[in-house]
Structure 1
Amino acid sequence: MAIKITKHYIVNLSLAVVIFALGVFAIRYYNHYVSAYTDVTINSKVLNESRKVFIRLPTNYDANKAYPLIIKTDGNFNLETWDQALTKQAKKEKGDKAILVSIPNLFFTFTRNRDLVPPYARQDVNTEARLALEAISEPNGEADKFLQFIETELLPYLSANYKLTNNRVLSGFSAGGSFVLYTLHTKPELFNGYFAFSPAAWYDDMTVVKKLDTFLDTQSDKINSPTYLYLSVGSAEHPLMLKAFNNLEQALTANPNSTLVWESAVNLGAEHSDNPSLSVANALRGYNHFIKH
Structure 2
Amino acid sequence: MAIKITKYYFINLSLAVVIFAIGILAIRYYNHYVSAYTDVTLNSSVLNESRKVFIRLPANYNPKRAYPLIIKTDGNFNLDTWDKALTKQAKSEKGDKAILVSIPNLFFTDTRNRDLVPPYARQDVNTQARPEGETLIDRNGEADKFLAFIETELLPYLSAKYKLSNNRVLSGFSAGGSFVLYTLHTKPELFNGYFAFSPAAWYDDMTVVNNVEAFLTTQANKIKSPTYLYLSVGGAEHPLMLKAFDNLESALTANPNNNLVWQSAINEGAEHSDNPTLSVSKALAGFSKFIKK
TM interval, short-chain normalised: over 0.9
Are 1:21 and 2:16 matched, yes or no? no
Question: TM-score w.r.t. structure 1 length?
Answer: 0.98
Deviation at 1:133, TM superposition (A): 4.5
* In structure 1, C-alpha distance between the alignment counterparts of 2:287 and 2:17, rounded to whole Å: 50
5+ residue gaps, structure 2, are none
**Could you tell me which amino acid in structure 1 is paired with residue 195 of structure 2?**
F
* In structure 2, C-alpha distance between the alignment counterparts of 1:210 and 1:94, rounded to whole Å: 37
Q: State the SS of the aligned residue for 1:68.
A: strand
Q: State the SS of the aligned residue for 2:92.
A: helix
Bigger shift: residues 155-164 or 86-95: 86-95
* In structure 2, C-alpha distance between the alignment counterparts of 1:40 and 1:11, rounded to whole Å: 40
Q: State the Cα deviation string for residues 178-212 of structure 1 (Å, max 9, x = none).
A: 00000000000000000000000001110100100
- Does the 8 Å contact 2:69/2:100 carry over to 1? yes
Please name the residue that 2:236 is paired with.
Answer: 236
* In structure 2, C-alpha distance between the alignment counterparts of 1:96 and 1:216, rounded to whole Å: 30
Please name the residue that 1:159 is paired with.
Answer: 159
* In structure 1, C-alpha distance between the alignment counterparts of 2:94 and 2:243, rounded to whole Å: 40
Please name the residue that 1:246 is paired with.
Answer: 246
Q: State the SS of the aligned residue for 1:280.
A: helix
Q: State the Cα deviation string for residues 269-292 of structure 1 (Å, max 9, x = none).
A: 000000000000000000000000
* In structure 2, C-alpha distance between the alignment counterparts of 1:94 and 1:264, rounded to whole Å: 22
5+ residue gaps, structure 1, are none
Please name the residue that 2:117 is paired with.
Answer: 117
Are 1:7 and 2:15 matched, yes or no? no
Q: State the SS of the aligned residue for 1:72.
A: strand
- Does the 8 Å contact 1:60/1:96 carry over to 2? no
Are 1:278 and 2:268 matched, yes or no? no
Deviation at 1:124, TM superposition (A): 1.1
* In structure 2, C-alpha distance between the alignment counterparts of 1:77 and 1:160, rounded to whole Å: 27
Deviation at 1:2, TM superposition (A): 1.7
Deviation at 1:95, TM superposition (A): 7.0
Please name the residue that 1:68 is paired with.
Answer: 68
Question: TM-score w.r.t. structure 2 length?
Answer: 0.98
- Does the 8 Å contact 2:95/2:288 carry over to 1? no
- Does the 8 Å contact 1:87/1:96 carry over to 2? no
1:134/1:24 Cα in 2 relative to 1: closer, same or farther (>3 Å)? farther
* In structure 2, C-alpha distance between the alignment counterparts of 1:134 and 1:173, rounded to whole Å: 30
* In structure 2, C-alpha distance between the alignment counterparts of 1:218 and 1:96, rounded to whole Å: 35
**Could you tell me which amino acid in structure 2 is paired with residue 54 of structure 1?**
F
1:125/1:14 Cα in 2 relative to 1: closer, same or farther (>3 Å)? same
**Could you tell me which amino acid in structure 2 is paired with residue 238 of structure 1?**
H
* In structure 1, C-alpha distance between the alignment counterparts of 2:256 and 2:280, rounded to whole Å: 25
Please name the residue that 1:174 is paired with.
Answer: 174
Q: State the SS of the aligned residue for 1:55.
A: strand
1:24/1:257 Cα in 2 relative to 1: closer, same or farther (>3 Å)? same
Identity of aligned residues (%): 82
Bigger shift: residues 249-258 or 7-16: 7-16
Q: State the Cα deviation string for residues 254-277 of structure 1 (Å, max 9, x = none).
A: 000011000000000000000000
**Could you tell me which amino acid in structure 1 is paired with residue 269 of structure 2?**
G
- Does the 8 Å contact 1:41/1:51 carry over to 2? yes
Please name the residue that 2:145 is paired with.
Answer: 145
1:126/1:135 Cα in 2 relative to 1: closer, same or farther (>3 Å)? farther
Please name the residue that 1:80 is paired with.
Answer: 80
Deviation at 1:8, TM superposition (A): 2.1
1:38/1:244 Cα in 2 relative to 1: closer, same or farther (>3 Å)? same
1:135/1:238 Cα in 2 relative to 1: closer, same or farther (>3 Å)? farther
Q: Number of matched residues?
A: 293
* In structure 2, C-alpha distance between the alignment counterparts of 1:264 and 1:95, rounded to whole Å: 21
**Could you tell me which amino acid in structure 1 is paired with residue 143 of structure 2?**
A
**Could you tell me which amino acid in structure 1 is paired with residue 246 of structure 2?**
N
Deviation at 1:15, TM superposition (A): 1.4
Deviation at 1:121, TM superposition (A): 0.3
Bigger shift: residues 194-203 or 5-14: 5-14
* In structure 1, C-alpha distance between the alignment counterparts of 2:103 and 2:199, rounded to whole Å: 18
* In structure 2, C-alpha distance between the alignment counterparts of 1:280 and 1:91, rounded to whole Å: 16
Deviation at 1:134, TM superposition (A): 3.9
